Amino acid sequence: MIPVNSVLQVGQFPEIMQLEIDKRLSTIKLLDPHGKAPDGSFAAILTRSNTQLPKELFEAMPSVRMVATCGVGYDNLPLDYLKDNGIKASNTPGVLNDAVCELAIGMLLGLLRRIPEAQDFVKSTAWSKSPFTITSTLAGKRVGIAGMGRIGQDLAKRLEPFKVKLAYTGPSRKELPYEYFSNIKSLAQACDILLLACPANAETEKMINAEVLDALGPKGYLINIARGSVVDEEALLVALQQKNIAGAALDVFENEPNPNFGFLNLDNVLLTPHIGSATSETRQLMTNLAIDNLEAFYNQKPLLTEVKN
């Protein structure tokens, strides 16, 4: 049982998530995480991965002992501060794999077959004047996945029927029937499509740099459904403008919700507004898993999906 008003909800939640929260909890809301912490003795915070929580918020509220974030990525939390102060954290892994994989595959096909431009072509009646451009087939391509975790492995399984050759990189080699590369550059060199599904952390920051993009080459495509920080966006813009790579599909950006303007006028990109998990089914599952974690915390039980920091 979670006591009334003992959870501080930080940041704005989409309606579908707020409905789930209001069904199960009575929270106090702080819309701006940089705003003044409200009065009250909160034991836990509920937030979501698009809301960056500054450590000052926790400093102002020493009663907080747990934070539940809706999302599998937890780069929005001040991890060092939480660890140093023994504050627990939970995320929502697994329940969003289906939605994220479906989007990634949609983006991949949309980019290769130029589906958004094809629709514009029909709607603008340009079709009556000339045929649409010839595009590229996915079958036969070599697809490299950077980050063969829950989402990466689900993606690989879903891609198998598309008759592609799969490979991956990451810190550890897995018992998987795909070729393993020990570093991102050699994976990029060996594949036509590079799919990012790794976490945002110090090691992955700007991991996709000019050298990796050069290795991917002029026939190569980049799909990023991980985090914007994994890509050196300046290097990517140059690679796209100069056609050093064939194209990119990006769901995530360094500066959300105001991505670098340079991407907006390119014709070799497919851009989506960080919607990997944004289906009503998935958002309900994420919200409920976050609240299940809060319940476990209040009942002094082990968290269901604790972030091991």
Q: Is position 48 an interface residue for ligand NAP (rule: CB under 6 A)? A: no
- Shortest CB 101 distance to ligand NAP, Å: 10
Q: Is position 257 an interface residue for ligand NAP (rule: CB under 6 A)? A: no
Q: Is position 146 an interface residue for ligand NAP (rule: CB under 6 A)? A: yes
Question: Which listed residue (100, 159, 166, 291) binds ligand NAP by CB under 6 A?
Answer: 100
Q: Is position 108 an interface residue for ligand NAP (rule: CB under 6 A)? A: no
Q: Are 212 and 188 in contact (CB under 8 A)?
A: yes
How many C-beta neighbours within 10 Å does residue 63 have?
12
Q: Is position 72 an interface residue for ligand NAP (rule: CB under 6 A)? A: yes
Question: What is the 3-state secondary structure of 166-182?
Answer: EEEECCCCCCCCCEEEC
Q: Is position 308 an interface residue for ligand NAP (rule: CB under 6 A)? A: no
φ, ψ dihedrals at 123, nearest 5°? -65, -30
Dist CA 146 CA 182 (whole Å): 10
Dist CA 14 CA 177 (whole Å): 39
- Shortest CB 22 distance to ligand NAP, Å: 24
Question: Which listed residue (32, 203, 256, 281) binds ligand NAP by CB under 6 A?
Answer: 203
Could you tell me which stretch among 78-86, 148-156, 239-247, 281-289 binds ligand NAP (CB under 6 A)? Answer: 148-156
Neighbouring-strand partners of residue 89: 67
Kindly tell me which of 6 and 49 has the beta carbon lying closer to ligand NAP. Answer: 49
- Shortest CB 190 distance to ligand NAP, Å: 15
Q: Are 127 and 117 in contact (CB under 8 A)?
A: no
Q: Is position 205 an interface residue for ligand NAP (rule: CB under 6 A)? A: no
- Rg over alpha carbons for the chain, rounded to the nearest Å, is 21
Q: Are 51 and 31 in contact (CB under 8 A)?
A: no
Dist CA 297 CA 80 (whole Å): 20
**Positions in 211-250 near ligand NAP (CB under 6 A):** 225-227
Q: Is position 172 an interface residue for ligand NAP (rule: CB under 6 A)? A: yes
Give the angle 93-255-239 at the CA atoms, nearest 5°: 100
Query: Per 3-state DSSP, what percentage of the chain is helix, strand, and coil (rounded to 5)?
Result: 35, 15, 45
Terminal alpha carbon distance of the chain? 26
Q: Is position 144 an interface residue for ligand NAP (rule: CB under 6 A)? A: no
Kindly tell me which of 147 and 220 has the beta carbon lying closer to ligand NAP. Answer: 147
Residue 177: name the closest of 157, 162, 194 by CA: 157
The catalytic residue positions are 227, 256, 274
Kindly tell me which of 75 and 292 has the beta carbon lying closer to ligand NAP. Answer: 75
Q: How many residues bind ligand NAP (CB under 6 A)?
A: 30
Sign of the Cα torsion 150, 155, 158, 160 reads negative
Q: Is position 195 an interface residue for ligand NAP (rule: CB under 6 A)? A: no
Could you tell me which stretch among 40-48, 77-85, 136-144, 270-278 binds ligand NAP (CB under 6 A)? Answer: 270-278
Residue ranges binding ligand NAP (CB under 6 A): 72-73, 93, 96, 100, 146-152, 169-172, 197-200, 203-204, 225-227, 251-252, 274, 276-277
